[in-house]
């Protein structure tokens, strides 16, 4: 019997789907799981793909089934379990064999493991896999970090299973040691920011305009046909239109308002702070998740402090107001992506990775969670001026003029995110708060009256600004938020291209 081209350890949901994807694309794969029953069950359910799968019940049998130099994907829980699995594998491997961690690992762990194997004859790849269960099964976005030589050994298999965008595979070698897992970490940080902004816009539509979940779903559906076309906007429409089969109520109203996290979002914030790069959108989104997870504390605080009144936003032109929200969301997304690329640029310099920014934008266009039409603009921007990631002076990525951003200044925006969203602190809200002051119909929380009589706690009064001043304020805010690196050039280019 011919040997397998690659091996995989860990037949959980992600591991099973990735193994089936590899087999379906014509690659023979050996599989092993710590629990023998899981291996037998996986093989029994593989159907027509059985001929491409070699089920193994011992480590020795598993290693012998793979063609040298042996690439072995480890798809198990991140952290100590990966170290333990590596130690169990080492005695059975030979020079040139490759261990591949495809989980959501901390890139610093990946760097440590890579360095630990340098003199052993073995090597290590840290591989970020984005797209969830569906991506693993039918085509993920894959971010590889390790030696270029080890990548070439697995390139054929990875290229065959990766998502495709206009026939281009969404997989790339990004640099040595932890480069792949770092890029995956920042991807997840941007994903958090993107989701938080969507939640804040949903809050404005629900609480400010008193729209139903179905109506808001229609709005997101319309946006998905235009400049905001993306996976997250697409599934937002589907979720908002879905009904609970038991009660008939919108499913979004039945879901507990409590979110967890696996660690990558938190790591993206920590590393941004370590490198001194402001990533305010990502920071606020991670904080929002942490606040949401403390549901018991929030409910206890509500009993003591109450909730601020939620006032309806009175607008003369509802359609124009919703259009302004679309523009605001686009601008906020630009800022979040710009911040993420600025962090990657700083990390590239610090760790000597020479991260290929145009390539990163390309492999995020399909398969991954943040895939969107907007990434085409980023790809174009970095392709025309790769140094945009390092110096604003060396790259002017404006395709057109600055464009008219007056649509970002609808009267009555300010203050609404504070009442209708979880934190009102994400970049979307930060952009909106630079706009005209709160309308008179928005009442202040009565519990704050006593505190606000103290001068040092009294909010600063801002004068209403003309629309042209709002554009200048947005420009300064975006430049500051992106840390002056990849952000400003990229932000102006995409804004100009879309006429925002």
Could you give the residue numbers annotated as active site?
A: 184, 191
Which bin fits 465, alpha (ψ -120 to 50), beta or left (φ > 0)? beta
d(CA 142, CA 184): 9
Report helix, strand or coil for 101: strand
d(CA 423, CA 429): 9
**Residues 178 and 144: beta-carbon distance below 8 Å:** no
Cross-strand pairs, 172: 143
d(CA 478, CA 471): 11
**Residues 284 and 350: beta-carbon distance below 8 Å:** no
264-270, long-range: CB < 8 A, 24+ apart: 264/104, 264/184, 264/185, 264/188, 264/189, 265/188, 265/189, 265/191, 265/192, 265/289, 267/106, 267/107, 267/185, 268/185, 268/186, 268/188, 268/189, 268/192, 268/340, 268/343, 269/189
> Is the backbone peptide bond immediately before 69 cis, with ω within 30 degrees of 0?
yes
**Residues 344 and 360: beta-carbon distance below 8 Å:** yes
Report helix, strand or coil for 8: strand
What is the number of residues in the chain?
500
Cβ burial 290-308 (10 Å sphere, 16+ → b, else e): ebbeeeeeeeeeeeeeeeb
**And the tokens for 397?**
């990525």
**Residues 18 and 136: beta-carbon distance below 8 Å:** yes
**Residues 114 and 176: beta-carbon distance below 8 Å:** yes
**Residues 294 and 260: beta-carbon distance below 8 Å:** no
> How are beta strands 98-101 and 71-74 bridged, if at all?
parallel
Cα distances (Å, whole numbers) of residue 331 to 321, 389, 391, 494, 496: 15, 19, 21, 9, 11
Residue position matching structure tokens 């920042």: 186
Residue position matching structure tokens 């340098």: 118
**And the tokens for 240?**
């908002």
**And the tokens for 406?**
């007056």
**Residues 371 and 194: beta-carbon distance below 8 Å:** no
CA-based nearest residue to 251, from 260, 261, 263, 243:
243
């Amino acid at each position: 019997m011919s040997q397998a081209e690659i091996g995989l350890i860990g037949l959980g949901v992600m591991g099973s789907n990735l193994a089936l994807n590899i087999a379906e694309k014509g690659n023979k794969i050996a599989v092993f799981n710590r629990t023998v029953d899981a291996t037998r069950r996986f093989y029994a359910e593989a159907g027509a793909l059985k001929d491409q799968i070699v089920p193994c019940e011992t480590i020795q049998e598993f290693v012998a089934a793979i063609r040298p130099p042996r690439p072995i994907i480890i798809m198990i829980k991140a952290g100590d379990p990966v170290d333990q699995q590596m130690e169990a594998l080492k005695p059975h491997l030979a020079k040139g064999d490759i261990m591949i961690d495809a989980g959501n690992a901390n890139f610093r762990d990946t760097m440590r493991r890579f360095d630990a194997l340098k003199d052993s004859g073995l090597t290590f790849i840290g591989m970020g896999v984005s797209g969830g269960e569906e991506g693993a099964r039918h085509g993920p976005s894959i971010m590889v970090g390790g030696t270029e030589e080890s990548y070439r050994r697995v390139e054929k298999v990875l290229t065959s299973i990766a998502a495709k965008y206009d026939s281009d595979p969404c997989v790339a070698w990004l640099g040595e040691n932890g480069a792949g897992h770092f890029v995956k970490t920042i991807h997840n940080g941007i994903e958090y920011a993107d989701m938080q902004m969507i939640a804040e816009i949903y809050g404005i539509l629900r609480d400010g305009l008193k729209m139903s979940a179905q109506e808001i779903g229609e709005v997101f559906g319309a946006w998905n046909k235009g400049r905001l076309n993306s996976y997250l906007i697409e599934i937002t429409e589907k979720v908002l239109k879905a009904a609970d089969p038991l009660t008939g109520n919108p499913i979004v109203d039945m879901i507990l308002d409590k979110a967890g996290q696996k660690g990558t979002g938190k790591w993206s914030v920590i590393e941004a702070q370590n490198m001194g790069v402001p990533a305010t959108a990502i920071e606020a989104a991670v904080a929002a998740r942490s606040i949401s997870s403390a549901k018991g504390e929030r409910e206890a605080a509500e009993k003591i402090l109450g909730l601020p009144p939620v006032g309806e936003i009175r607008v003369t032109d509802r359609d124009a107001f919703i259009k302004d929200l679309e523009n605001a969301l686009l601008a906020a997304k630009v800022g979040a992506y710009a911040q993420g690329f600025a962090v990657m640029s700083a990390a590239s310099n610090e760790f000597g990775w020479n991260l290929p920014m145009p390539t990163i934008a390309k492999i995020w266009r399909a398969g991954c969670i943040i895939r969107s039409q907007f990434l085409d603009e980023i790809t174009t921007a970095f392709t025309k001026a790769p140094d945009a990631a390092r110096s604003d002076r060396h790259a002017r990525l404006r395709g057109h003029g600055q464009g008219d951003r007056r649509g970002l200044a609808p009267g009555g925006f300010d203050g609404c995110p504070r009442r209708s969203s979880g934190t009102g602190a994400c970049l979307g809200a930060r952009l909106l708060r630079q706009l005209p002051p709160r309308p008179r119909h928005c009442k202040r929380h009565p519990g704050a009256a006593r505190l606000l009589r103290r001068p040092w706690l009294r909010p600063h009064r801002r004068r209403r600004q003309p629309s042209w001043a709002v554009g200048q304020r947005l420009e300064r805010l975006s430049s500051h938020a992106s840390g002056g690196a990849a952000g400003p050039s990229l932000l102006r280019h995409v804004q100009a291209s879309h006429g925002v």
